[in-house]
Amino acid sequence: MLSALVEKARLEVATVKATVDIYESVRSQAYPPPNNSGAAGGGAGGTHGLPVVPPYSSWKVYDHCAAYTKLYAIWEGFVRNLVGSWLARLPSLYSGYSELPERVRKGHSHGVAVVLARAASPRHRHLSELNMLEGLHSGLSGKADYTLLPEAFFHDGQNLKDDTLEQLLSRLSLTKPWEWIGRQEAMIDYMGNVRGGSSTPRSELRDLVKRRNEASHGEVGEVVSSQELKKVADYVTILCEATASFVTRALLDRMLVVGRAGEVGKVIHAYSDNLVEISLTRGVLRVGERVFALRVHECIDALAIGLQVNGMNVAQVAGGEGVVVGVRMSRRVHLHSRLALIP
């Protein structure tokens, strides 16, 4: 449902990691060991066939600042796009503006007023006053085609550290994000196996924002290794994935309430190689169809890439009493997951 946003973030983070590796490789040619422990050399001369290179320590600082600045930009851009996607879908899930959760209505109306007062600022120059007001006016007028202005929820201009993210999502009626984020399998694995239990999802984000601010606005007190930069990059990917699954679950829960999605069964056996056996009680499941596997604090977006009934490959299966289907999923789905489809 929000997989395109996650994939975009993954690709951008992968580019950062690849760039870190390339710069480290080139730097090791320019300053081969043991002369790379803070040498002030460089300059003219084309070391090892390279063009003019900067001093070793300055080069490391530059890479450090560039990586942290870009990783934070990826995170902030991802959240802005995620919020925009959430807001774009709400009018189809709440037929009238007055039916929206109170937090969303209050956050939107207050935010529109703030943005309107700052209409001349560089942050809002892309919006006309009509752009700012038309969605709110349509909603308050009772029109079904109302829209919600994403900029109304980003008016404070704060960095998206842990508490700011929590406050932002709360204004969108998305509560307790860190409880969800901290319970995602990939995040648990990262905190245990990569960080050794020395940090938390929230403290990792605070450190990212702190180092990005130092890189952009202040003195860099500590330059981290290329390996550490790649660990931080992996965290950003996992954080984006976890936050997207949190919002996806909220969207799906609402879609189930209003009949835009339906539960069709549950996983009764789970095997290796992403194979599961499901009890398909209703609906029709087709090869290639997107399936949402739901458990407490879990929402896995997967594709059904193969179906079998009684050992025979089939293209689709209609649900009903006693219908059991073998399914190869595009990713691992857990035992006892409830399965939902969007028609």
Task: Check residue 38 and give its pLDDT.
Answer: 46
User: Nearest Cα to 53, choosing from 41, 63, 42?
Assistant: 42
Mean pLDDT of 166-186: 97
Provide the 8-state DSSP code for 194: I
How far is residue 293's CA from residue 303's CA, in Å, rounded to a whole number?
Answer: 10
What pTM was computed for the model?
A: 0.92
The pLDDT of residue 320 is above 70: yes
- Confidence band of 45 (pLDDT split at 50, 70, 90): very low
Report CA-CA distances (Å) from 15 to 21, 207, 248, 300.
10, 21, 26, 25
Task: Check residue 193 and give its pLDDT.
Answer: 97
Task: Check residue 31 and give its pLDDT.
Answer: 85
Give residues with Cβ within 8 angstroms of 105, minimum separation 6. 97, 98
**44: phi then psi, degrees, rounded to nearest 5:** -70, 160
Task: Check residue 242 and give its pLDDT.
Answer: 98
The answer to which of 30-39, 61-70, 211-220 has the lowest mean pLDDT is 30-39
User: Nearest Cα to 20, choosing from 242, 238, 234, 240?
Assistant: 234
Tens digit of each residue's pLDDT (9 = 90 or more) over 278-317: 999 999 999 999 999 999 999 999 999 999 999 999 999 9
Task: Check residue 109 and give its pLDDT.
Answer: 95
- Give the whole-number percent of the chain exceeding pLDDT 90: 82
- Could you write out the DSSP letters of every residue in 146-185? ----GGGGSTT-----HHHHHHHHHHTT---HHHHHTTSH
Buried b (16+ CB within 10 A) or exposed e, 230-246: bbbbebbbbbbbbbbbb
Instruction: Answer whether 26's CB lies under 8 Å from 17's CB.
Output: no
> 36 or 258: whose pLDDT is higher?
258
Task: Check residue 39 and give its pLDDT.
Answer: 46
Task: Check residue 34 and give its pLDDT.
Answer: 64
